[in-house]
Amino acid sequence: MTWKSHDEILTYEEIALFARYAVQAGISKIRLTGGEPLIRRDVVGLVGDLCAIPDVKDISLTTNGLLLADYVDDLVKAGLRRINISIDSLKPDVYRRITRGGDLERVLDGLEAVLKAPLHPVKVNVVVLRGINDDLEDFIELAYNRPVHVRFIEYMPFNEEIGQDYFVSCSEMRRRIEGLGEFEEILSPPGAGPARYLKLKGALGTLGFISPMSGHFCSRCNRLRLTADGKLRTCLFSDEEVDVRGVLRRGAGEGEVVKLIGETLAKKPRDRFSARRKFQRRMFQIGG
């Protein structure tokens, strides 16, 4: 990894200022992602600042869950409404391998703390990798016993020469899962985004499928991503960026930034096939 200095990273004040301008441009939902948002000092204060912005309808957070048990109560008090937890395996040894040393027990403690909090819905994100974590029965059991929305996500190989063998399509996942019990397709929970959901008869939770590769949903995508170093991106598959940090630090006002957001949205690729793809950044640098 190439480490960045503090001067290269947006301050909380800059993030909140841009968020206020984005709301004026029509944005109504904000998600904090990463990397890992909970490792940044005083992140609860940022959540509170974002929740205080008028006309923000939803504030959510995606986390790996390792620090979650320590933060849940404070995040709820600050105004957080929803949480996604990334858990790519429920087998401790496989989890350690995927996360390069992560402690699954701490993550599950965080999940239990969230389930006791007034946060809904609670989602668990699983990026499925063939031959590594593609035995999905543990997650089916989790969704059966606990009121969580498990979402299986197709792996997105950001280098076309590396990782293709890991890919498992959502259609294959569904075929395998539907052979294990009696499922029904159901309406998506609030804030579900692009996922399609199944429910096992008698289950407390649901199983969702997100297919950015085999069944891309570009025509329905209305998301913008602001990176930690202040670059605005319209598509995970495109390296085109707009320098928001520079615009904010030279003192641009609301009108200029709102106009910039509109111009950036107008350049959103028609689909991932037409995006400019050099993959200069990794997923952890731009947010999922």
Pairing of strands 122-128, 149-154: parallel
Predicted pLDDT at 238: 79
Full pLDDT tens readout for the chain, 288 residues: 678 899 999 999 999 999 999 999 999 999 999 889 999 999 999 999 999 999 999 999 999 999 999 999 999 999 999 999 999 999 999 999 999 999 999 999 999 999 999 999 999 999 999 999 999 999 999 999 999 999 999 988 765 545 678 899 999 999 999 888 888 888 776 655 667 889 999 999 999 999 887 776 677 778 899 999 999 988 877 788 899 999 999 999 999 999 999 999 888 877 666 666 665 677 667 766
Looking at the domain 12-281, which fold is it?
TIM Barrel (3.20.20)
**What would the two tokens of residue 59 be?**
């504030």
Predicted pLDDT at 267: 83
Predicted pLDDT at 288: 62
Predicted pLDDT at 25: 94
Four-CA torsion 268, 47, 193, 145, nearest 10 degrees: 160
Please state, as a whole number, how many other Cβ atoms lie within 10 Å of the Cβ of residue 243: 13
Predicted pLDDT at 23: 96
With 0.85 as the threshold, say if the pTM is over it: yes
Predicted pLDDT at 237: 74
Predicted pLDDT at 158: 62
Q: Which of 66, 77, 69 is nearest to 35 (CA)?
A: 66
Residues 231 and 238: beta-carbon distance below 8 Å: no
Predicted pLDDT at 157: 72
